[in-house]
């Protein structure tokens, strides 16, 4: 019998890519999303890519404990991957309660219902933001976490702790937290990708929107950081590579291969790239020129963060494979696909 994976927040950027990879790996998937930060574009794209018109989709909000309970009552779920969360760093600073209420309540509801219905495998979508500004780079999973610079970041740390404590208290559940570095790019089909609402906060959507003419000019936030070219260093991870890491992690859970009941993995490439290198890379990969200018630093940004992904490479058998040129070409193809539909 095929195992069934519930993907909460499965209509969003990362969730839709994960859904594709799970289906291609032979899993049944239930997608549930409240559509608060996306439309059906990506879910429709997932159906096209996989050739599966019958993927179950449930429009629901995981803050609603009754709806969450109903989902688990009416479906046999073997594992859940929890994405459903708000993710705008800046907004979380001005509206912390919105973030704490949504991100924490949703996750607790999911764990509670999963546990009650014998679904013992819970994968949480965490973030490298839990490392704050680390003293030593690259970061391993042993690198101490630091207070995050935003309520959004705090919710990631808190959800990790909730999962860790639940796994400890309830022997029937196991958990994996994947700490993503900077997910970028889009599916090579250009049928799914990032769909930011309003002005993008993240670098790559801002780059592609500038290239397509939606934004006039990209601001490079700071060129006076203590890095080789003065711009920040990040570990940009292709979203398809990232999605594949989830398949490895889910398989590890479902096939009883976990060494501990709660495991944490860094999901990154291990190779830092500067903001300027990324811009130049985008220009080269797509043979175009970007309009950009140097601007002041953005509050809350850290100068450098990249992963040591050795543990994920070894234990999950996963490794980032996509070349950055291909990632940046895919991001651009996706933006052009969106423009062609307008």
**Which parts of this chain interact with ligand UD1 (CB under 6 A)?**
87, 89, 127, 129, 149-150, 153, 182, 201-203, 206, 218-221, 232, 234, 275, 298, 300-301
3-state secondary structure 129-149: HHHCCCCCCCECCCCCCCCCC
Query: What does the angle CA 6 – CA 9 – CA 15 come to, to the nearest 5 degrees?
Result: 80
152 in catalytic set: yes
Catalytic residue, candidates 27, 99, 131, 152: 152
DSSP 8-class letter at 5: E
Q: Distance between CA 342 and CA 207 in Å, rounded?
A: 19
Least CB distance to ligand UD1 at residue 25 (A):
25
Least CB distance to ligand UD1 at residue 239 (A):
11
Nearer residue to ligand UD1 within complex by CB, 11 or 77: 11
Least CB distance to ligand UD1 at residue 66 (A):
30
Question: How would you label 98-119 residue by residue, b for 16+ Cβ within 10 Å and e otherwise?
Answer: ebbebbbbbbbbbbbbbbebeb
Long-range Cβ contact pairs of 11-14 (< 8 A, separation 24 or more):
11/35, 11/38, 11/40, 11/42, 11/43, 11/57, 12/37, 12/38, 12/42, 12/83, 13/38, 13/42, 13/183, 13/193, 13/194, 13/195, 13/239, 14/83, 14/125, 14/180, 14/183, 14/239, 14/242, 14/243
Nearer residue to ligand UD1 within complex by CB, 31 or 275: 275
Nearer residue to ligand UD1 within complex by CB, 3 or 156: 156
182 sits in which H/E element:
strand 182-184
Least CB distance to ligand UD1 at residue 216 (A):
12
Least CB distance to ligand UD1 at residue 278 (A):
8
Nearer residue to ligand UD1 within complex by CB, 75 or 227: 227
Least CB distance to ligand UD1 at residue 203 (A):
4
Who contacts 330 (Cβ-Cβ below 8 Å, separation ≥6)?
185, 186, 187, 188, 190, 193, 238, 240
Nearer residue to ligand UD1 within complex by CB, 113 or 209: 209
Q: Distance between CA 333 and CA 326 in Å, rounded?
A: 10
Nearer residue to ligand UD1 within complex by CB, 77 or 207: 207
Residue 204 sits at φ, ψ, to 5 deg, of -65, -45
Report, as residue numbers or ranges, the catalytic residues: 152
């Amino acid at each position: 019998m095929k195992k069934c994976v519930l993907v909460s927040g499965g209509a969003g950027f990362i969730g839709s890519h994960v859904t594709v990879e799970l289906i291609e790996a032979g899993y049944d998937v239930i997608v549930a999303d409240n559509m608060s930060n996306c439309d059906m574009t990506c879910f429709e794209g997932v159906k096209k890519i996989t050739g599966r018109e019958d993927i179950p989709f449930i429009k629901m909000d995981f803050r609603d404990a009754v709806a969450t309970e109903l989902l688990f009552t009416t479906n046999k779920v073997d594992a859940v991957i929890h994405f459903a969360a708000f993710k705008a760093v800046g907004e979380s600073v001005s509206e912390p309660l919105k973030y704490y209420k949504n991100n924490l309540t949703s996750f607790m509801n999911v764990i509670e219902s999963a546990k009650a219905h014998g679904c013992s495998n819970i994968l949480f979508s965490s973030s490298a933001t839990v490392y704050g500004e680390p003293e030593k780079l690259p970061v391993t999973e042993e690198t101490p976490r630091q207070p995050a610079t935003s309520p959004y970041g705090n919710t990631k740390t808190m959800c990790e702790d909730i999962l860790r404590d639940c796994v400890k208290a309830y022997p029937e559940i196991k958990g994996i937290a994947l700490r993503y570095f900077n997910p970028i790019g889009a599916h090579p089909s250009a049928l799914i990708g990032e769909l930011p609402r309003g002005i993008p906060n993240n670098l790559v959507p801002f780059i592609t929107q500038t290239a397509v003419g939606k934004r006039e000019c990209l601001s490079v936030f700071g060129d006076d950081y203590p890095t080789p070219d003065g711009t920040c260093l990040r570990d940009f991870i292709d979203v398809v590579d990232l999605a594949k890491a989830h398949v490895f992690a889910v398989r590890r859970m479902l096939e009883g291969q976990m060494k501990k009941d709660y495991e944490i993995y860094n999901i990154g490439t291990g190779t830092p790239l500067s903001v300027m290198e990324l811009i130049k890379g985008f220009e080269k990969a797509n043979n175009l020129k970007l309009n950009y200018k140097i601007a002041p630093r953005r509050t809350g940004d850290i100068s450098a963060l990249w992963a040591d992904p050795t543990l994920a490479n070894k234990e999950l058998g996963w490794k980032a494979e996509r070349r950055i040129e291909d990632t940046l070409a895919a991001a651009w193809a996706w933006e052009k696909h969106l423009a062609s539909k307008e």
